[in-house]
């Protein structure tokens, strides 16, 4: 498939006389997509039910006539101030019990039905007006669900909706009490109306209570998004997308993705390195101007899966951002590298955010392809270079990866609720496995637990705290080399420990008899190299011991092609495990220089040098921030 | 006296058919005590004033008929959800002014009279029903007063009760204003009704105001407990206990203890090392699987005193817990060591918490003597070993220690209100002295300031910010070598500085002319070795200078047998002081290997190796986690 | 002018029989000023509108007849408890939305008109009664505006006043929306009544919104102070002062100062080193007993400017304080050094806080010239020494410094709102430049942006985020060597980026094409020595490059006598810049030993040794904490 470039543009921010000039410059740069509209509610509906469509009509027309395809965003992430007069209780309430205020964005509670109706109303108007526009070639619902910690709200709207949700899920209060083990501390309820949100309890709430609330909160996002999708789909043939954020785990992106045609995400490598990649300060220093070598790729693969193959980068960092603890400029070449990396992972489009740096308001220090004075910023040349390269080069052909890695939002919530050790997070556990696969030069597909396992040689599924019987059976039967654990199937659906003890997988004689968490520096050495840190399990059973501590305690056990890993492996141990599994299936691996990463498509092998030094690879030398395309046989 | 073992059991958590089997297993393991009931309010009173006693009758009967003695807990730590409908304002309010929510435990304000009446009602019913039961051999009131920071509440119930309390204590508002020095910042009140709780003030409240509130809050706990004790005592001959926590200083455990027959406490050595022992990270690493070598012993000695000799460990950690930042498994042998250590310090019983790991709710990762799948956990064998050893070995005979160490909850509040230096805490100061005594191989009794000093050779009373005239006189006259300071008698009863300046002790010509706090690394070297750190005083007076800085400033001064210490000594200096005092009274000391501790009873010397390496001692080699009983001539 | 000493005294805290004795001791010590009354509202007006003047009449009389001049404070920083019954909503609300409580001080919101009227009432009574008193030789309004973070309040009084303020400033809601760029996230308002205070927004509020609120909050302080000044000035000829605090930037001290006759400030060198000097731990250790060598001098110079030449130290630390994380005693000699340093910088008077350590309430551990037992504290002798030296020595003659350094409170707010890098603060940036000037032995005048530039050889104006056209023109035309940047003129008055890009100064062909913030350790080396850290700009333009990175990127550019600095220089780089500028104007500099500082007056050069070791200087040896007065030619 042909790949494309684009940008995010806000006609309402700029004088009307600039629009045509901007559109021409975009086209000249080789961009074909332009996203607009997602924060413009107030300009379209200045007063309740009084509209001004004229400017948006013209903006779409000007852009479209210049040859650009428009992604039109619904403006529901930024309800105008007058909305609060109609729905004073629509604001979210935070974990301290404080109602959030107006004056930025995302100031709504997903459970507020009154606001949801307003969104249905405005989206209907957008879709009615532009659903058949020749220029509107795609839609975006809202903007960055979950950004700024906005999924979870403790409002009274959420409280009421949660009670309804519980009643539907559990039927009777007795079954809820039983499922949650509320007998524990006399926490049994007499009716659903007694159940509060899990906030400000004296010590931690029942983890079953917390998990239910996390699931509910995630479903509220899906419900909110679905309401928009249904309206647009009835009125337009253009594909519908939403732009996810990085390391946003408060809602299930697979579930929301099922309602979308295209999943997009907003990729800010330097900002993420500073505020969420979860790396050491040493790594933050080394990659300060390049970003983490795996963090973006992980999201590319994750969201490709959430989009069932169709995905974009909707916002690509083009220079310093405004919101991280430190905001350096990228190393020259990195904007090009990030763009090609997205294509190598199958992106259909990469859009730079934003077209032009804005001289006012919250993001005034967020760079763009142009500076605030209308001059091209350094990223423009790199975007233009990619546009030329796209024109000259063969299309990127996606191919199934040899390895599948499972990511489960439900498991992430469970680990967040009960990490057991202060440093432990499911996201980091999965990312550690992803890093090990990438260090071995392997391409990876990321799947939900419900994913199709056909055709994979290796399947890694670390940390799945709950596993359905069906999932267990599918993993046992899939034929791939499978790695599960630690904490595999450690809880039932309602956060209770199973009896027989976990993982309780038929055909795998392994039992976790005890779990412990360790101070980070108190590792358990493994015979042959590497260590367990942080989380460690005592294993019993008749399965073969394939890894053991230097004192002889089992660390990993295996029956047939399924390996259970009883702890959190460090880099060396995960590298050993990946090599071992790959060898068992005859999958070749390579040892890559630090900071070099490889991604194979159907026809090419892409090499990326994330370091600021030239490197030599088997495919040849690569300059700093360099990209090398190696045709495959 | 014969020592005994027991466990904590929750029949309401398990199918009825398991009860008899569990009881038999307990008996077979050598346990004789079983605590039940303390979280079962909802199961006993499912709806307000509607009762279901049948299951509890049977549980007690099953356990008792198996040969076990029951400790019956009153269920007041976990009021059911329906209680909030009757008393919506019974919830505590935290220091941020937020009302806490339902969904965990201890969700009540000690000052709420409506809830106290409910407690009186349910305790009366418990005592009426089981007060003469042949199986109920002891009682426990509530559970872990103060746990999760629950002593202090800023509710309106507390506010009203505090005003009443102040009126009773001060009589007139004029005397309160005078005592507190409210003239300082125009803080003088016109009536008691104007006095708010010391919360959310612009800068710190008057320390006299804070101290009064701390005393009031402590007394509310005593009042709450006393109400239960009086009801039970009128209806049962069985001894009444309450289970204290570690490093819980928000209420006066001596005062509450005076109403109890037996003081118990909940000993979690590995959890406490992680979250409250106040040690360095290096110590946390070294003792990660063993716990701090002195922290448990300190509480044994403290609570033995609070129980006037009668004390138990009601909850003994048997494996990993669920609540600390890191939750490792104990080194094999430590469960036995902890149990014997308690007996060496005079415990009548040690009960393991819990019988069986629970598969649901908040404490699902708290290990027990059995795993959640009904199989014995590693601790079971160690408990059984102790049971056998108890049967074979002579009884433990308590004896007065040669050294008394004073602990004063009122002083702890005063230091918390006014630490003067960011790192300084009274609890740590006393614990530092305790550690020095233990390093010298000395057994210690811990006394309240009102304790009986007869028979002690050495009395250490560091940090007593307020000392009554009577206490001063008793210390001067007791004949023991006495160590006081720093901050001895630094304030009067109402947190004012005395004139003449402290310590103002007749017969001891020492005056603290100035106090300062120091950055931790800015120590003052003392001639002959050791240093002062953190807190330092300028001393004047005609008393003999027994320690001085290398520049010649007095650090410790002495008249007769009373030594005033004008600073916080480091390990070396405290060791010097202890040796010096011991030598003056002819008390032998020993230099123990690191991590080895000794405790003498009337007939034996117990040696404990808290390290994970074998050690050689004068009494012979001791393996890691080993216990050695040396008969005394 | 003759310099004088004084102290702060609270007759209401001490028995009446002590007053005369205290006054005599003050006079004997050589003190001539005594400040009283600023916390005494409750004693003067015990019940609303019922007064007791008698004690204050006598106190003033006793002090005055002993020969002391009284500074009379208005008592508005500590409204009595009964005030809250009259104005329950006068309390400030913090950034968490919590109303603050009674029980300390400064518990009022500057925007509350009811409380302001009460202040007008009591100040009128004070001024009527004592305005013509022969003993009241000066006034102080309130006490330490802004202390304990009290400038900013989110109360409903503040909200209403802010809306009024906005309406006055912007006229129409359309101009506000345009000026703030509210179109950005649909934040446009329909009326001023819709504008809330910038609190608890989901992500950061519009920086223009925040900056307006900071300006408003500052003006509320000026309004509050002006109300008192107008009343006093109409009734008394004595000069009116207010005592500022250290590093208090929440209100514009120049603006408040314009209404005062004398600016005073409260100088606590050891406390400030601990809690606000912004230095490394290594510096905190080295100067633990001496205080930062530049921090006090900086405030002397800043507040001399705010007082248009007339300034005092109203509260001089005389020993350990009570409020810092650590509270050591000063090195002997430092109280004298601090006093002389103030005089060297032009202070008219230095008053020690407090006369005597108070034995009760919040500041009981704050030392005084006397101990709580009425004995002289160590500082008394140092004060007496200064008094003798003042009598013997020539008067201090102020002189214009060769260098002016600009400090702009508005810039400080802008940097606080948008630091861009986590470690960056405007105050530290200016202080870093001040330190460099001081290391070079230069005396400095600090000016507001509106200051008179006549007669200065060098003008340093780092970090002025907004610069008026007039300021730009004045700097270009003043003839001095001028240093501006980084971030010079980076925003317009309403926090928007200018077009053409900053600094947009006619005659200086420099343009900042991109800004970035860097992790502290990721510095950019500059050719010839030194580095940029933290904040870095890309510079373009035709101006001469005078500093460049080792890779050749411009760091500083110059046209004529104006140099633009495109980053935050480290110590070495700032030293180079200062030397270079000084050389260009023929201004001599010196390399001073570490911790030695120099200040030149019209007739003398003062040398101060802030270290605890003797040093040799060109003017001769100076002992630790020593002062050397070198007569000038
Ligand atoms: Zn974004
Ligand atoms: Zn417990
Ligand atoms: Zn002050």
pLDDT tens per residue across span B303-319: 999 999 999 999 999 99
Span A418-435, average pLDDT:
98
How far apart, in whole angstroms, are the C-alpha atoms of residue A90 and residue A92?
7
In this complex, do C202 and A107 lie within 8 Å of one another by their Cβ atoms? yes
B73 touches chain C (CB under 8 A): no
**A96: pLDDT strictly greater than 90:** yes
What is the reported pTM? Answer: 0.97
Give me the residues near ligand 2 (ion), CB cutoff below 5 Å: B 266
**A172: pLDDT strictly greater than 70:** yes
Mutation target vs C (from A78, A103, A151; most C CBs, 10 A cutoff): A103
Mutation target vs B (from A183, A209, A501; most B CBs, 10 A cutoff): A183
B81 touches chain A (CB under 8 A): yes
Query: Cβ distance B101 to B72 under 8 Å?
Result: no
Span C571-595, average pLDDT:
97
C540 touches chain A (CB under 8 A): no
**C471: pLDDT strictly greater than 80:** yes
Span C76-104, average pLDDT:
97
Nearest Cβ partner of A104 from C185, C522, C538? C185
Report how far ligand 2's centroid is from the alpha carbon of B247 (Å).
13
Given B144, B248, B384, B537, which residue is catalytic? Answer: B144
Mutation target vs B (from C364, C375, C377; most B CBs, 10 A cutoff): C364
For the record, the structure tokens of B53 come out as 């006693």
Q: Which residues of B touch C326 (CB under 8 A)?
A: 421-422, 517-519
Span C549-570, average pLDDT:
98
Residue C109, marked binder: yes
In this complex, do B378 and A514 lie within 8 Å of one another by their Cβ atoms? yes
C-alpha dihedral sign at C300, C304, C309, C313: negative
> What is the rounded average pLDDT for all residues in chain A?
97
Show the domains of chain B with their CATH numbers.
4-159+208-392 (3.20.20.80), 403-584 (3.40.50.880), 596-631 (no CATH)
C144 is catalytic: yes
User: To the nearest whole angstrom, how far is the Cα of C274 from the nearest Cα of chain B?
Assistant: 9
Determine phi and psi for A434, rounding to 5 degrees.
Answer: -60, -45
In this complex, do C326 and B519 lie within 8 Å of one another by their Cβ atoms? yes
Span A233-237, average pLDDT:
98
Window 369-398 of A, Cβ < 8 Å to C: 371-375, 377-378
Smallest CA–CA distance from A96 into chain B, residue: B98
| Helices within C234-331 (DSSP H only) | 253-258, 269-275, 281-286, 295-306
How far apart, in whole angstroms, are the C-alpha atoms of residue A498 and residue A478?
24
**B1: pLDDT strictly greater than 80:** no
CA distances from A618 to A440, A605, A608, A632 (A): 14, 12, 13, 14
Residue C105, marked binder: yes
- Tell me the Ramachandran region of residue B148: left when phi exceeds 0, alpha when psi lies from -120 to 50, beta otherwise: left
Report how far ligand 3's centroid is from the alpha carbon of A1 (Å).
72
Q: Which pLDDT band, with edges at 50, 70 and 90, does C396 fall under?
A: confident
- pLDDT value for A1: 59
C315 is catalytic: yes
pLDDT one-digit tens code per residue, C91-104 = 999 999 999 999 99
How far apart, in whole angstroms, are the C-alpha atoms of residue A425 and residue B265?
33
How far apart, in whole angstroms, are the C-alpha atoms of residue C518 and residue C537?
11
How far apart, in whole angstroms, are the C-alpha atoms of residue B53 and residue B43?
8
In this complex, do A42 and C497 lie within 8 Å of one another by their Cβ atoms? no
Q: How many residues does chain A have?
A: 633
Report how far ligand 3's centroid is from the alpha carbon of B203 (Å).
12
- pLDDT value for C2: 77
pLDDT one-digit tens code per residue, B209-236 = 999 999 999 999 999 999 999 999 999 9
List all chains that touch chain A, counting a touch as 3 or more CB pairs closer than 8 Å.
B, C
In this complex, do B186 and C288 lie within 8 Å of one another by their Cβ atoms? no
Query: Among residues A267, A250, A392, A423, which one has the least CA distance to residue A335?
Result: A267
**Which DSSP symbol is given to A195?**
P
Residue B105, marked binder: yes
In this complex, do A186 and B43 lie within 8 Å of one another by their Cβ atoms? yes
Q: Which pLDDT band, with edges at 50, 70 and 90, does B320 fall under?
A: very high
Q: State the count of interchain CB pairs (< 8 A) between B and C.
A: 166
Window 489-528 of A, Cβ < 8 Å to B: 494-501, 513-519, 521-522
**C1: pLDDT strictly greater than 70:** no
* % of chain B surpassing 70 pLDDT: 100
How far apart, in whole angstroms, are the C-alpha atoms of residue C585 and residue C561?
10
CB contact burial C531-555 (16+ within 10 A = b; e otherwise): bbbbbbbbbbbebeeebbbeeebbb
Contacts of C282 (CB under 8 A, 6+ apart): none
∠ CA(A618), CA(A620), CA(A621), 5° rounding? 120
What torsion do the CA atoms of C110, C111, C117, C119 make, to the nearest 10 degrees? Answer: 0
**Greater model confidence, A468 or C395:** A468
CA distances from A423 to B276, B365, C159 (A): 18, 17, 42
Report how far ligand 2's centroid is from the alpha carbon of B143 (Å).
8
Report how far ligand 1's centroid is from the alpha carbon of A144 (Å).
7
B97 touches chain C (CB under 8 A): yes
**C393: pLDDT strictly greater than 90:** no
**B2: pLDDT strictly greater than 80:** no
How far apart, in whole angstroms, are the C-alpha atoms of residue B248 and residue B268?
13
**B146: pLDDT strictly greater than 90:** yes
Span A108-131, average pLDDT:
98
CA distances from A399 to A309, C66, C298, C315 (A): 10, 97, 66, 75
Contacts of C361 (CB under 8 A, 6+ apart): B180, B181, B182, B183, B184, B185, B187, B206, B207, B208
How far apart, in whole angstroms, are the C-alpha atoms of residue A459 and residue A445?
9
Q: Which residues of C touch B538 (CB under 8 A)?
A: 329
Contacts of B196 (CB under 8 A, 6+ apart): B159, C101, C102, C103
**A215: pLDDT strictly greater than 90:** yes
């Amino acid at each position: 498939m042909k790949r494309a470039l684009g940008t995010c543009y806000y006609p309402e921010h700029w004088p009307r006389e600039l629009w045509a000039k901007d559109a021409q410059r975009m086209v000249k740069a080789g961009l074909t997509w332009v996203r607009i509209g997602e924060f413009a509610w107030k300009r379209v509906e200045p007063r309740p039910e009084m509209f001004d469509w004229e400017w948006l009509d013209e903006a779409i027309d000007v852009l479209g006539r210049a040859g650009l395809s428009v992604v039109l965003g619904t403006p529901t992430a930024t309800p105008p101030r007058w909305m609060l007069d109609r729905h004073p209780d629509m604001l979210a309430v935070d974990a301290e019990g404080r109602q959030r205020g107006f004056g930025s964005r995302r100031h709504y509670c997903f459970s507020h039905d009154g606001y949801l109706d307003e969104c249905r109303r405005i989206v209907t108007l957008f879709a009615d007006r532009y659903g058949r526009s020749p220029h509107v070639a795609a839609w975006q619902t809202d903007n960055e669900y979950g950004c700024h910690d906005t999924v979870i709200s403790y409002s009274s709207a959420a409280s009421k909706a949660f009670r309804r949700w519980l009643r539907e899920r559990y039927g009777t209060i007795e079954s809820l009490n039983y499922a949650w083990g509320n007998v524990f501390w006399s926490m049994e309820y007499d009716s659903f109306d007694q159940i509060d949100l899990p906030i400000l309890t004296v010590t931690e709430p029942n983890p079953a209570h917390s998990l239910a609330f996390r699931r509910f909160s995630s479903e509220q996002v899906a419900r909110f998004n679905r309401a928009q999708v249904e309206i647009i789909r009835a009125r337009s043939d253009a594909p519908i997308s939403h732009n996810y954020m990085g390391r946003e785990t408060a809602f299930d992106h697979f579930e929301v993705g099922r309602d979308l045609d295209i999943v997009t995400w907003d990729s800010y490598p330097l900002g993420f390195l500073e505020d969420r990649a979860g790396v050491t300060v040493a790594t933050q220093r080394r990659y300060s101007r390049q970003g983490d070598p795996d963090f973006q790729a992980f999201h590319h693969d994750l969201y490709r899966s959430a989009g069932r193959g169709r995905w974009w980068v909707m916002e690509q960092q083009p220079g310093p951002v405004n919101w991280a603890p430190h905001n350096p400029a990228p190393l020259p070449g990195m904007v090009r590298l990030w763009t090609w990396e997205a294509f190598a992972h199958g992106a259909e489009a990469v859009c730079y955010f934003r077209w032009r740096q804005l001289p006012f308001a919250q993001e005034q220090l967020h760079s763009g392809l142009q500076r605030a004075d209308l001059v091209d910023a350094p990223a423009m040349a790199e975007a233009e270079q990619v546009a030329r390269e796209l024109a000259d080069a063969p299309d990127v052909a996606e191919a199934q990866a040899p390895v599948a890695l499972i990511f489960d939002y439900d498991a992430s919530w469970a680990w967040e609720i009960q990490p057991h050790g202060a440093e432990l997070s499911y996201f980091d556990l999965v990312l550690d496995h992803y890093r090990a696969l990438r260090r071995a030069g392997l391409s990876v597909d990321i799947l939900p637990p419900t994913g199709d396992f056909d055709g994979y040689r290796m399947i890694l599924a670390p940390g799945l705290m709950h596993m359905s019987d069906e999932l267990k059976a599918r993993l046992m039967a899939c034929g791939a080399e499978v790695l599960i654990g630690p904490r595999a199937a450690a809880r039932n659906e309602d956060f209770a420990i199973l009896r027989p003890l976990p993982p309780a997988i038929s055909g795998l004689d392994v039992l976790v008899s005890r779990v412990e968490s360790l101070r980070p520096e108190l590792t358990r050495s493994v015979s042959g190299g590497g260590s367990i840190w942080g989380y460690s399990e005592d294993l019993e059973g008749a399965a073969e011991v394939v890894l053991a501590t230097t004192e002889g305690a089992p660390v990993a056990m295996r029956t047939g092609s399924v390996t259970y890993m009883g702890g959190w492996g460090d880099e060396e141990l995960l590298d050993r495990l990946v090599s071992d599994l790959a060898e068992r299936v005859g999958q070749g691996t390579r040892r890559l220089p630090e900071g070099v990463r490889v991604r194979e498509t159907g026809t090419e092998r892409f090499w990326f040098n994330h370091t600021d030094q030239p490197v030599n690879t088997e495919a040849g030398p690569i300059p700093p921030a360099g990209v090398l395309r190696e045709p495959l046989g």
